[in-house]
Amino acid sequence: MKRNIFFVLLMLIMAASICVSCKSTPKVDETASAKADEARKRAMDFQAPAYFPSEWEVIEAQYEAADNAAAYGVVALAYDELFKKAVPLYAQAREDEIMAAREQLIHTGFTEVFPQYLEDADNIALSAMEQYEAEDYYKAKDTAAKALSEYETLLAGAKIYTTRQEIIDRGFVQYDADNFVKADEIAQATIDAYDAGDKQTALANGEEAMLRYNLVLANGWTAYAANRKASAAKERELALAERANIASRETFREAEALYVHAEELFASEVFNNAALGYVDSEAKFAISRKETEERRLRAEQAIRMAEEKIEESNEAASEATRVIEGVSR
């Protein structure tokens, strides 16, 4: 009986030992697997699969086949190597995006009016560069994204600003003054919210301001196109009355083609292009009238010169007749 009890205890101890040894290996493998996962995530966060697709596929296959600590260690090192190669490419791509947005912003002229906004965005971009040089890649990644977002937000503001200037430069305020004043009020609220750091409210206000400015612009083009249409039609009638379609046929045909196209655009409610077409056709009709007038003047001058020559010839003939008659006598 004692031997049986001893045997049972021995078997339990051995089983426990086996279970402990069984559990110890997975713990090592799980740790190695976790490190491989972390390395893989780092590489993915910096777009290694996009930059090195063929190498990525090879490592992915090794990752799928890994079943022990050593294999996971090899995979982790491979992911880390790919991460190191991807980081400078990722950083360059973000820098290119930031510089493109910055140049576009400067081109709008917005930063000449609001230079402090550009300086603030530039400081964020410079911070990202410093973090990258310090090899704090994740922080640099987040800061670069913030800088790009800042430039893009300013670009939205610049679009509002340039639309407003277009309205003023073209004299369109008169066509929808109420909406223009309201848009200005909302635009000021947008600036106030942005300065206060409330970007969400600033963006919402900016969208409403943009909608109102666009409405003013649309109404302005509609009214302006109608005015230009009337002016072009009047100039066309004057040209026809002066028979410019005959005396200055080529120029009149060019004007007529522009006018017909403008009419088509107006009917299609493409008022901005229609207005420009009417302006061009009106100018061409005016040129055809001027050419007609110049040709008429040249013709009249030629007639007068001919008449003068005829008169001179008649006088010469009369004088010759008198001379002949005098000799005969």
pLDDT, one tens digit per residue, over 151-185 is 999 999 999 999 999 999 999 999 999 999 999 99
Question: Which pair of tokens denotes residue 292?
Answer: 């007609």
Query: Among residues 118, 224, 214, 222, which one has the least CA distance to residue 160?
Result: 214
Output the DSSP codes for 150-216: HHHHHHHHHHHHHHHHHHHHTTGGGGSHHHHHHHHHHHHHHHHHHHTT-HHHHHHHHHHHHHHHHHH
Cβ pair 272, 225 in contact under 8 A: yes
Query: Among residues 218, 291, 288, 292, which one has the least CA distance to residue 258?
Result: 288
Q: What is the number of alpha carbons within 13 Å of residue 321 lying toward its C-beta?
A: 6
* pLDDT computed for residue 304 by the predictor: 80
* pLDDT computed for residue 317 by the predictor: 62
Residue ranges for the chain with pLDDT beneath 50? 1-3, 6-25, 329
Q: What is the number of alpha carbons within 13 Å of residue 215 lying toward its C-beta?
A: 15
Q: Count other C-beta atoms under 10 Å from residue 111's C-beta.
A: 19
Q: Rounded to the nearest 5 degrees, what angle is found at the Cα of 97, between the Cα atoms of 94 and 101?
A: 140
DSSP 8-class letter at 68: S
* pLDDT computed for residue 142 by the predictor: 97
* pLDDT computed for residue 320 by the predictor: 54
* pLDDT computed for residue 91 by the predictor: 97
* pLDDT computed for residue 305 by the predictor: 80
- Over the Cα atoms of the chain, what is R_g? 42
